[in-house]
Amino acid sequence: MSDRMLIGHLTTGRTGPLQGSRNIPRQPEQPDNGVTFEEMLARQQLKFSHHAEMRLQQRGIVLKPEQLDKIASAVEQAAAKGAKDSLVLFRDIAMIVNVPNRTVVTAMDESSMKEHVFTQIDSAVVVR
């Protein structure tokens, strides 16, 4: 058997999608609202910086999945209003969140908040 490929014929052993000679850029699939799947995933994720993880651990703050969902929803609300860096207040916890990156930068409990001034934020969200 020859390794040559004739026009209109396929060789055996070839796997994967067939592509023509044209280089057509693949468009990401978008749901009806015009947001890509990757953007939807990024929006739903709430990340914690290393610093924030350390502060949560040092201060004994444990967040349950349903609490994280509420906080992520609050970050979404801040993003919808154009916020960049937001103070998110959830019960007795305060978090500074970089909204575009969906990243909690730092977190503190009630005792750490006393006499604390929050700077370099452009919004605040109270989560209930």
Each residue's pLDDT tens digit, 67-123:
999 999 999 999 999 999 999 999 999 999 999 999 999 999 998 888 788 999 999
What mean pLDDT comes out for the span 3-18?
Answer: 51
Count of CB atoms situated within 10 Å of the CB of 104? 24
Backbone angles phi, psi at 53, to 5 degrees: -60, -40
21 lies in a domain? no
Per cent of the chain over pLDDT 70 is 66
3-state secondary structure of 44: helix
**Domain-embedded: residue 92:** yes
| Domain with 52 in it | 37-127
The number of folded domains in the chain is 1
CA 79 to chain centroid: 12
